[in-house]
């Protein structure tokens, strides 16, 4: 395998994390070009990680640079669609952090462009299918232990969120992960959604209804109830239990020492998401690197990005209407049938 040369657009926290990963943790890649609106930031990161890389004049220059094999899009969400489309136009592999695009129509445009190009180039940054917990869960579903799946009970809890986090972001920033991973887990598709608002926590500010209870129906009739609670205070937890005809299989708790102390047996809960999925991020990016090297991407594709966006769109409508809202999906191109 020759080394995959990566150019990265947008160097915020997640962008820097991927730079660190490629240069210090993973195998087979090097960062060769960076672009950020803040050029100083780009230069600082080059210095910090001793990268043998240059700062590109523009995102477009970076994408078309022949010395760049693959592009990471880790810029602000609103810019994703344009950069991904540009990468497709340039015939470059592109890893785009979620969301693939901020509108369903932009996702459709990306899908159409990739199909037209005739070769799969896009991987979307949904890391949960790379998490060993979810993989083990899927293995137990697929091996038939619990029989046909009938229900899912899930929860996505954060200890707290900042002032800029609003009711819609519970869908587009938080639930979006469940929308992708459950579809993958169940090998099924969502057809309708309902959003319920329990009594709100007094901790949330006026523009955020928290918690929310999202109820999803799939094509095969599975109902998934998902609690999204982003100010739960006590910790960061991702829970998922899948109930089938013959039993249930659920994510285990994140491992932590079992402590007996002061009248209790306890295990620490994580307070943020980074440690929870750090290994999954490593596996995800290594898989992308390997996929570029092989000429064959295997991770979440543009169609997955589109489906998550279309389902999120229905959830946003359901937040407002209080009704059961259908999920509208265009017909799946043969290109994405595997």
Interacting residues with a second copy between 259 and 278 (CB under 8 A): 259-269, 271
In angstroms, give the least distance from the CB of 139 to a second copy. Answer: 8
Q: 268 is written with which tokens?
A: 């620490």
Q: How far apart are CA 239 and CA 229, in angstroms?
A: 12
- For 261, half-sphere exposure in the C-beta direction (CA atoms, 13 angstrom radius) is 6
For a second copy, give the closer residue by CB, 247 or 333: 247
For a second copy, give the closer residue by CB, 117 or 159: 159
Piece of the chain touching a second copy by CB under 8 A; list 102-110, 120-128, 223-231, 308-316: 223-231
105, burial (CB in 10 Å: exposed 0-12, middle 13-18, buried 19+): exposed
- For a second copy, the binding residues in 174-203 under the rule CB under 8 A are 196, 198-203
Q: Exactly one of 114, 180, 237, 325 binds a second copy (CB under 8 A); which one?
A: 237
In angstroms, give the least distance from the CB of 111 to a second copy. Answer: 29
In angstroms, give the least distance from the CB of 210 to a second copy. Answer: 9
155 with 227: CB under 8 angstroms?
yes
Residues 289-302, buried b or exposed e (16+ Cβ, 10 A)? bbbbbeeebebbbb
- For a second copy, the binding residues in 64-123 under the rule CB under 8 A are none
H-helix or E-strand spanning residue 176: helix 176-186
Angle between helices 104-117 and 80-89 (to 10 degrees): 10
**Residue 13 found at the interface with a second copy (CB under 8 A):** no
Q: Exactly one of 14, 37, 89, 213 binds a second copy (CB under 8 A); which one?
A: 213
For a second copy, give the closer residue by CB, 99 or 133: 133
**Residue 146 found at the interface with a second copy (CB under 8 A):** yes
Q: How many residues bind a second copy (CB under 8 A)?
A: 72
Q: What is the CA radius of gyration of the chain?
A: 20
For a second copy, give the closer residue by CB, 89 or 196: 196
**Residue 286 found at the interface with a second copy (CB under 8 A):** yes
Q: Exactly one of 60, 173, 189, 225 binds a second copy (CB under 8 A); which one?
A: 225
For a second copy, give the closer residue by CB, 103 or 266: 266
Name the residue among 250, 251, 201, 253 with its Cα closest to residue 230: 201
In angstroms, give the least distance from the CB of 223 to a second copy. Answer: 4
In angstroms, give the least distance from the CB of 203 to a second copy. Answer: 6
Interface mask (CB under 8 A) for a second copy, residues 239-258, using x and -?
----x-xxxxxxxxxxxxxx
- For a second copy, the binding residues in 120-139 under the rule CB under 8 A are 132-133, 136-137
Interface mask (CB under 8 A) for a second copy, residues 24-63, using x and -?
xxxxx---------------------x-------------
Q: How far apart are CA 170 and CA 206, in angstroms?
A: 14
Q: How far apart are CA 295 and CA 305, in angstroms?
A: 20
327 with 310: CB under 8 angstroms?
yes
Residues 130-166, buried b or exposed e (16+ Cβ, 10 A)? bbebbeebbebbeeeebeebeebbbbbbbbebeeebe
In angstroms, give the least distance from the CB of 47 to a second copy. Answer: 14
Query: Which strands, in side-by-side order, build the sheet including 325-326?
Result: 237-244, 149-157, 223-229, 212-218, 190-196, 325-326
For a second copy, give the closer residue by CB, 79 or 192: 192
């Amino acid at each position: 395998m020759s080394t995959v040369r990566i150019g990265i657009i947008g160097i915020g926290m997640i962008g820097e994390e991927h730079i660190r990963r490629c240069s210090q943790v993973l195998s087979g890649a090097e960062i060769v070009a960076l672009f950020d609106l803040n050029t100083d930031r780009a230069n600082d990161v080059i210095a910090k990680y001793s990268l043998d890389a240059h700062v590109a004049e523009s995102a477009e220059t970076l994408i078309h640079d022949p010395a760049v094999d693959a592009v990471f899009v880790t810029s602000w969400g609103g810019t994703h669609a344009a950069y991904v489309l540009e990468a497709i136009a340039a015939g470059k592999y592109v890893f785009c952090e979620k969301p693939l695009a901020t509108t369903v129509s932009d996702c459709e445009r990306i899908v159409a462009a990739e199909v037209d190009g005739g070769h799969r180039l896009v991987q979307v940054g949904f890391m949960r299918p790379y998490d060993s917990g979810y993989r083990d869960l899927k293995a137990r579903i697929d091996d038939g232990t619990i029989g046909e799946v009938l229900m899912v009970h899930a929860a996505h809890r954060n200890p707290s969120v900042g002032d800029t986090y609003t009711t819609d972001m519970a869908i587009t920033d938080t639930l979006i992960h469940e929308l992708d991973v459950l579809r993958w887990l169940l090998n099924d598709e969502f057809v309708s959604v309902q959003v319920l608002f329990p009594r709100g926590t007094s901790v949330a500010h006026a523009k955020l209804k928290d918690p929310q209870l999202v109820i999803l129906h799939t094509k095969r009739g599975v109902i998934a109830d998902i609690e999204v609670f982003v100010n739960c205070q006590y910790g960061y937890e991702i829970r998922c239990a899948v109930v089938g005809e013959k039993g249930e299989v659920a994510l285990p708790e994140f491992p932590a020492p079992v402590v007996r102390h002061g009248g209790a047996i306890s295990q620490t809960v994580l307070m943020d998401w980074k440690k929870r999925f750090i290994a999954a991020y490593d596996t995800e990016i290594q898989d992308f690197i390997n996929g570029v090297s092989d000429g064959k991407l295997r991770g979440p594709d543009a169609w997955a990005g589109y489906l998550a966006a279309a389902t999120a769109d229905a959830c946003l409508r359901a937040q407002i209407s209080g009704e059961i809202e259908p999920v509208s999906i265009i017909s799946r191109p043969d290109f994405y049938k595997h």
